[in-house]
Structure 1
Amino acid sequence: MERYQIYDVPKPARISRLIEAMYAKMPEVEASRAVLITESYRETEGQPIMDRRSKAFVHILDNIPMVIRPDELIVGSPTVAPRGCQTFPEFSWEWLNAELDTLETRAADPFYISEETKAKLREVNPYWKGRTTSELATSLMAPETLLAIKHNIFTTGNYYYNGIGHINVQYDKVLAVGFEGIIEEVKEARAKCGFGDADYDRRTHFYDAVIRSCEAVIRYAGRYADLAEKEAAACSDPARRAELEQIAKNCRRVPARGATSFFEACQSMWFVQYLLQLESSGHSISPGRFDQWMYPYYKADLENGRITPEFAQELIDCIWVKLNDLNKVRDAASAEGFAGYGLFQNLIAGGQDENGEDATNDLSFMCLQASMHVQLPQPSLSVRVWNGTPHEFLVKAAELTRTGVGLPAYYNDEVIIPALMSRGASLQESRNYSIIGCVEPQVPGRTDGWHDAAFFNMCRPLEMVFFNGMENGEQVGPRTGEVENMTSFQQVWDAYKAQMEYFISLLVNSDNAIDRAHSLLCPLPWESCMVEDCIGRGLAVEEGGAVYNFTGPQGFGIANMTDALYAIKKLVFDEKKVTMAEMKKAMLMNFGKSITPEFAEQVTVNIVKEMQAKGQPVNSGQIAQILAAVIGAGIPEKDKKRFEEILELIDGVDKYGNDLPEVDEFAREVAYLYTRPMQNYRNPRGGQYQAGLYPVSANVPLGAQTGATPDGRLAGQPIADGVGPASGRDVHGPTATANSVAKLDHIIASNGTLFNQKFHPSALSGRRGLDNFVNLIRSFFDQKGMHMQFNVVSRETLIDAQQHPENYKHLVVRVAGYSALFTTLSRSLQDDIINRTTQQGY
């Protein structure tokens, strides 16, 4: 308890000022990077791609505008505007040109963009026609794959249109030796290359690119030192002048050389964090075990009297604020799936060390305190939990959860360590795991996990079963038979399994094409020097240079498919209360209910496409007639009554999430239909596919593209998020729900699982509420659950925030594997969070 007193230092006034300034305006798109990379590429036509990538990075760092914001102690930003973002035309650009005039007014994640910036982007972007990773990836995909994407079976848009990200690099190595040390290591490796080596050209170009990039980063830090000195000379406030002079000293030393103080380590870490994004455009670049690799610098400074706990906490708070300064613009459709300006920078505290001893330290508590101070979505703070986790650390984490910011997320060492070992990592490596992005475990500094590689909608293959693989006049999936002719549930199960396996193979085809495109057109030499064993192998990360290479697509809709298939089994084949023909008709007619405007629009588009494909004239009257039938107008009263009866029967069938052994075992088998086939595939980097079970927030927009399902879910409604039950169907309390979720095989889903719960604030009131909350987590983890995260907010508060957003500018909620400001989310995503079951107690 003696050391615990230092963690309750008050929030510095500086932090409030930094936050207010950061959120004073709408995020802004800037064009400087796009202009600079285009200039460089025009000058390096015909040169090897590794040279072009590194020379472009150099040109960007040598010329991009710089800023030191008032009150900052940790400096560096890829944009002049707070929370601004650059663009990355080498991955994709046509969507941006098409949306330049709507960015500011769109529903999800709007951005301000000046007319001057629009003009610059319209000038440089067309250079990239035929040169992007997205175009190359499309050309490498099978026609069947493109058809499946067109019909929204899955989406691989994350890396299709953007950089990769989703990585945890060797921050500790940079802090120890700096980029001068890494340059020397690379030079030694290059000196060993023989002229007669078969891979001489590839290795030497890679090494030269790394050296060139590291030298540019050192010069870039020097530019910040120059700027800080200039501002210090002009500053009339002695206190601020001293801060700017220290900032200049820090930037003169790091990240060129190893850090000699906690302040320098914080600055060095920050340069790495945001420059990774400036090179690659990828989100989910995650600091990982910050409390472990930063602790030696804090401990040494504290023991030698060079720092106080209060100032160390202020520096950590400043990093937390800076993590929210980073941003990314996505196309409108992707913005719906990642709503809330998410960058998913996962930072994790606690857990074990490589020897299996508890690793919780002072910084572990200070990380929790920092999130309490800033009350912002980033970092996506997580904590590792195992049998040896101190109870007081979990209570401190629960206190943070109780604030309602949706942080931290909780991860189970007892499941994740064996999950990583099952994929080839050693025990020591697995004990040192970190989390990337939303919920994805990996061995830090040694892994290219390609997490979030796709979103696979498990509901769509069941739709294909009911319509024999046909949709809108096209044969999208395999012919698995007419459902009206199926005489046993096993036939339905086998048809669903066949559809799943077929579409999983197409998902793999898509991901492999994108993977290959990135290795050919957009390798990342600077990032690669911080991932083992890229230097040893002479390969960039995208070429297979990492020790561990995975691809991790995620499936979602387990709860819907469990409830749907179980309802078919019970109602159609066991109890014979409904026929397959009736179920098919009910789904087609949306159980006689009206549909959402979004789904109506989707249906209309599909009808037009079908008529065009058949060479029929697009007749507005016919469209209106078909649409009326779909939304329930004109349906005979007898059919409507029967649909209502079917919905009542479905409602009476047991549901996943209520600690019912038969249903929960059924859910386990449904999940296996996604997780087992996935691990049979390999990627171009020589690594294995591994499944994840989480949707980020794609369950909402992809649900809007999905028809009615036999669990009683209506067309266009959200699909269940993560591995939890569908909203409102868990009626036996949070413990029963946790017991159900724990029965899934989480270890096989080694790319991560996501379990959301929502509590009323009263459930965590007082010390007793906190202890009960910790006990719930412990119990779930004892049963081999992998992950838990929580919203602690009342339904009434969320509804009021939706109606009066001006009063809730800083309301942060847990969306999926990340937190976001509630008022920045789309209306449909806000509704999804509001409608999640609110638990009143345990």
Structure 2
Amino acid sequence: MGRFYDEDIKKSPRIDRLISHLYAKMPVIEADRAVLLTESYRETEGEPVILRRAKAFLKICRKLPITIRPEELIVGSNSIAPRGCQVFPEYSWEWLEKEFDTVEKRSADPFYISDETKRRLREVLPYWKGRTTSELATSYMAPETLTAMKHNIFTPGNYFYNGIGHFTVKYEEVLEIGFAGIRDRAAAQLAECGLGDPDYASRVSFLEAVILSCEAASEYGRRYSVLARELAGRETDPARRAELTRISEVCARVPEQPAASFYEACQSFWFVQMLLQTESSGHSISPGRFDQYIYPYYKADLDAGKITRESAQELLDCIWVKLNDLNKVRDKDSAEGFAGYSLFQNLIAGGQDAEGNDVTNDLSFMCIEASMHVRLPAPSLSVRVWNGTPNEFLIKAAKLTRTGVGLPAYYNDEVIIPALMSRGLTVEDARTYNIIGCVEPQKAGKTDGWHDAAFFNMCRPLELVFTGGRESGELVGVETKPISEMRSFDEFYDAYRQQMDYCISLLVNADNAIDRAHAERCPLPFQSCMIDDCIARGKSLQEGGAVYNFTGPQGFGIANVTDSLLALKKLVFEDKKLTLEEYREALRKNFGRGLGARETEDLVAQVAGGMAAAGQPVGEAEIRAICEAVRKDPVSPAEKAKYDQLLDWIDELPKYGNDVPGVDAFAREVAYLYTKPLQNYRNPRGGIFQAGLYPVSANVPLGSQTGATPDGRLANTPIADGVGPAQGRDTHGPTAACNSAARLDHMIASNGTLFNQKFHPSALSGIEGLQKFASLIRGYFDQKGMHMQFNVVSRETLLDAQAHPENYKSLVVRVAGYSALFTTLSKSLQDDIISRTTHGF
């Protein structure tokens, strides 16, 4: 390896101009893909669905408008407008039509949509009524499941309303043999099919679909070659004419043919990345170990004198900018949960090879340098850390963290490798893992992980214990013993376990219904041709074609549930300061701070029912006015004093996140209530369920749908994120919080865990601050923590950015498993980030 590690590479002026062009305007919704898709489906009625998907993809690649943006060196965009997006009605569409007139004005991730685009979409969207994956999935779900979803016990929205994402394909194979080579592999398999084979019909259809998809990708590249040649012919600037001519030559070869240079490898990679997100609207399509599969092309050209490190860095920087060009529109509620226009394209550097050798290389450092240059949310850069990681690499990563962009995230090989092996991966595959989306590990090119399959709110089953499983007069959970009959903490804890087990079974029912719907209506032949062993098995990824199949929903709220249960145990059953019924009333009245949203709705229903029974027909507006008055001042001064006393008692209790072994041991058991039952279930693709412990940013919107909890958390406020302590509850410093989080069993949460920390910028100043920071990471990882990520920004800066967003347009922060521009986030999510404890060393 060349020892260039401490040498920063100067940024090309081109990069800032590319970024300025990218962010000049609000993102735009475009209609072209939806129109072409619908046209193709109308032409292929009655054909096998996998062929319909391939023919639609071919038509889109042939006719989707293309553009080369000013000064680009890496080309390819699925929208004409910078950061624009296409529409995917085959998954869901009614929500978009309902939001045509509000999507531009909403608080989270607004998009501009023209009247002409609305008109074009209104012409084609009705075709999809009754044909979407979301409608089919709903029909497969049990009534109890739909009830639980209505009451926000969990939400499987990722794949319910969108395409399949959360995977990494075999980029290296495309670079090595091109789509011509993959097409030939499929053709060879097709030639071996026998008419008497039991799966002849489905296998032949799939392999023909793969061949069509490979041709579609090849044609798409050639279209850019033609466009670049035409633009070069009209270009008056000699330097730009030469660049366009080079682009035309590169695109004439890739992605159809093997990459023969570093430039071709970079461009071929980008075509794959972009087209995957043209075929399907799934997010978290992650580049994976980019520094490993691109490195041979970089090294060969560098050694041959064909490139310099500076010219190679400029190409990497251009890719980093392009990763921010991709976008997708979500419904209003989902946009709140994934705020920041995020696609979670995780690119990871460093780590080991299949034999266990460290493979950090020059390109690993240059990936970090690229993130320093662009300072944008994408890619979600990650680094792998183990005891063989060079210290200079960790320090380089720490320098990026110090910039405040929330990158990179850090992952522990010593936990993730054995965790994946426990799920059936070979040691070689586990050693070469990458991260998908936020924090989810998998083996690239062999896995259909269905990560992020649902968000499970562990606080909601706790609420159901207090109500015997009922909510707003409807049975939502399982009927458990009334709290008035509970005489011990063990009885209460057992009731919580019952509610958890039942709700987990409903979550599995929802995920499996959606899984089946995707296999039947939206298999993805282009994606499948780049994941083993789909071609050999003759089936798409959605039908179980991958070597490894999982479903990975994530639970969150461990800190709140831990602190809540310990508060009940101490205050009710040990000290007997109040009864469970009195605690329930305190929660219902939000500790005297005004009723929560759901409690207010219940009160409206009660008042309306009572007035109707008394023969007093009063309109809804009058009822709401009465209830609003009660909500604002729901308790007497005496009751308020009583609830203040309760909150003081709660505050005095030890909390998770402060290195209290007894509390942390209990938190480990609480996490097991989610992680252990889940792994007993299987999915339709023949794989198992594996738990994750992270919320992305859903802890904020789902917290807004959750009542007060016994730990003193008020109704409709954010729930704790990931495996860290509740906001502001970690009062003993960063090391204490690390010690607490490390006591959880990260190994069983093989779908990933998320640990956020926030530091004041002064904590990482100078080389001493960087070394202390690196030691904190190694110390946490030595205790078997899985993941760490950081915000390095002062509370004052965030508050000022919230008040004066026009002055902070480029402020990037770490949200959850991803970074985003702070000013694009909803206020509730901004408040959540501000509320996190700010540490120093």
The equivalences for 1:4-403 within 5 A come to 4=4, 7-403=7-403
Distance between the aligned counterparts of 2:602 and 2:202, measured in 1? 48
The equivalences for 1:210-609 within 5 A come to 210-594=210-594, 599-600=596-597, 602-605=598-601
Report the Cα offset of residue 47 of structure 1: 1.0
Aligned to 2:550, what secondary structure does the other structure show? strand
Aligned CA distance change for structure 1 residues 290 and 420 (closer, same or farther; 3 Å): same
Distance between the aligned counterparts of 1:31 and 1:149, measured in 2? 31
Residue 803 of structure 1 pairs with residue 776 of structure 2? no
Distance between the aligned counterparts of 2:594 and 2:397, measured in 1? 44
Report the Cα offset of residue 18 of structure 1: 0.1
Matched AA of 2:252: R
8 Å Cα contact 1:603/1:627 also seen in 2: no
Aligned CA distance change for structure 1 residues 516 and 88 (closer, same or farther; 3 Å): same
8 Å Cα contact 2:739/2:780 also seen in 1: yes
Matched AA of 1:60: I
Please name the residue that 1:776 is paired with.
776
1:734-778 superposed Cα distances (whole Å, 9 cap, x missing partner): 000000000000010000000000000000000000000000000
8 Å Cα contact 1:341/1:820 also seen in 2: yes
Aligned CA distance change for structure 1 residues 36 and 763 (closer, same or farther; 3 Å): same
8 Å Cα contact 2:207/2:538 also seen in 1: yes
**Bigger Cα displacement from structure 2, 1-10 vs 262-271:** 1-10
**Bigger Cα displacement from structure 2, 633-642 vs 382-391:** 633-642
Report the Cα offset of residue 620 of structure 1: 4.3
8 Å Cα contact 1:317/1:370 also seen in 2: yes
8 Å Cα contact 2:607/2:623 also seen in 1: no
Distance between the aligned counterparts of 1:252 and 1:309, measured in 2? 25
Matched AA of 2:582: E
Unaligned runs of 5+ in 2: none
Please name the residue that 1:815 is paired with.
815
Identical residues among aligned pairs (%): 68
Aligned CA distance change for structure 1 residues 68 and 607 (closer, same or farther; 3 Å): farther
Distance between the aligned counterparts of 2:587 and 2:485, measured in 1? 17
Distance between the aligned counterparts of 1:484 and 1:110, measured in 2? 48
The equivalences for 1:649-728 within 5 A come to 649-728=649-728
Aligned CA distance change for structure 1 residues 422 and 628 (closer, same or farther; 3 Å): farther
Distance between the aligned counterparts of 1:357 and 1:239, measured in 2? 43
Distance between the aligned counterparts of 1:594 and 1:771, measured in 2? 47
Distance between the aligned counterparts of 1:587 and 1:729, measured in 2? 19
Report the Cα offset of residue 146 of structure 1: 0.2
RMSD (CA atoms): 1.4
Distance between the aligned counterparts of 2:284 and 2:763, measured in 1? 32
Report the Cα offset of residue 577 of structure 1: 1.6
Matched AA of 1:256: E
8 Å Cα contact 2:405/2:819 also seen in 1: yes
Aligned to 1:3, what secondary structure does the other structure show? coil
Distance between the aligned counterparts of 1:720 and 1:624, measured in 2? 33
**Bigger Cα displacement from structure 2, 616-625 vs 790-799:** 616-625
Distance between the aligned counterparts of 1:619 and 1:300, measured in 2? 73
Aligned CA distance change for structure 1 residues 835 and 278 (closer, same or farther; 3 Å): same
1:655-693 superposed Cα distances (whole Å, 9 cap, x missing partner): 000000000000000000000001000000000000000
8 Å Cα contact 1:383/1:411 also seen in 2: yes
Please name the residue that 1:753 is paired with.
753
Aligned CA distance change for structure 1 residues 613 and 555 (closer, same or farther; 3 Å): farther
Distance between the aligned counterparts of 1:591 and 1:222, measured in 2? 65
Matched AA of 2:686: G
Matched AA of 1:249: E
Aligned to 2:551, what secondary structure does the other structure show? strand
8 Å Cα contact 1:291/1:364 also seen in 2: yes
Aligned CA distance change for structure 1 residues 786 and 688 (closer, same or farther; 3 Å): same
How many positions carry a matched residue from both structures?
Answer: 836
Matched AA of 1:69: R
Please name the residue that 1:762 is paired with.
762
Matched AA of 1:786: M
Report the Cα offset of residue 840 of structure 1: 2.2
**Bigger Cα displacement from structure 2, 476-485 vs 435-444:** 476-485
Report the Cα offset of residue 369 of structure 1: 0.1
Report the Cα offset of residue 639 of structure 1: 2.0
Matched AA of 1:96: L
Unaligned runs of 5+ in 1: none
Matched AA of 1:710: P
Aligned CA distance change for structure 1 residues 538 and 805 (closer, same or farther; 3 Å): same
Distance between the aligned counterparts of 1:608 and 1:363, measured in 2? 61
8 Å Cα contact 1:607/1:623 also seen in 2: no
Aligned to 1:4, what secondary structure does the other structure show? coil
8 Å Cα contact 1:592/1:632 also seen in 2: no
8 Å Cα contact 2:594/2:634 also seen in 1: no
8 Å Cα contact 1:350/1:385 also seen in 2: yes
Please name the residue that 2:737 is paired with.
737
Aligned to 2:4, what secondary structure does the other structure show? helix
Aligned CA distance change for structure 1 residues 2 and 304 (closer, same or farther; 3 Å): closer
1:404-453 superposed Cα distances (whole Å, 9 cap, x missing partner): 00000000000000000000001110000000000000011000000000
Distance between the aligned counterparts of 1:375 and 1:789, measured in 2? 16
8 Å Cα contact 2:588/2:599 also seen in 1: no
Report the Cα offset of residue 642 of structure 1: 1.4
Distance between the aligned counterparts of 1:459 and 1:410, measured in 2? 28
Distance between the aligned counterparts of 1:363 and 1:101, measured in 2? 46
For normalisation by structure 1, the TM-score amounts to 0.98
**Bigger Cα displacement from structure 2, 301-310 vs 336-345:** 301-310
Distance between the aligned counterparts of 1:387 and 1:6, measured in 2? 20
Aligned to 1:247, what secondary structure does the other structure show? helix
Distance between the aligned counterparts of 1:744 and 1:628, measured in 2? 44
Matched AA of 2:706: T
Report the Cα offset of residue 612 of structure 1: 9.2
8 Å Cα contact 1:406/1:812 also seen in 2: yes
Matched AA of 1:687: G
8 Å Cα contact 1:472/1:607 also seen in 2: no
Distance between the aligned counterparts of 1:29 and 1:288, measured in 2? 28
Aligned to 1:348, what secondary structure does the other structure show? strand
Aligned to 2:730, what secondary structure does the other structure show? coil
Distance between the aligned counterparts of 2:746 and 2:92, measured in 1? 35
Report the Cα offset of residue 371 of structure 1: 0.1
1:603-652 superposed Cα distances (whole Å, 9 cap, x missing partner): 455556789999987754444444544x3524233322211111111111
Distance between the aligned counterparts of 1:66 and 1:23, measured in 2? 19
8 Å Cα contact 1:7/1:366 also seen in 2: no
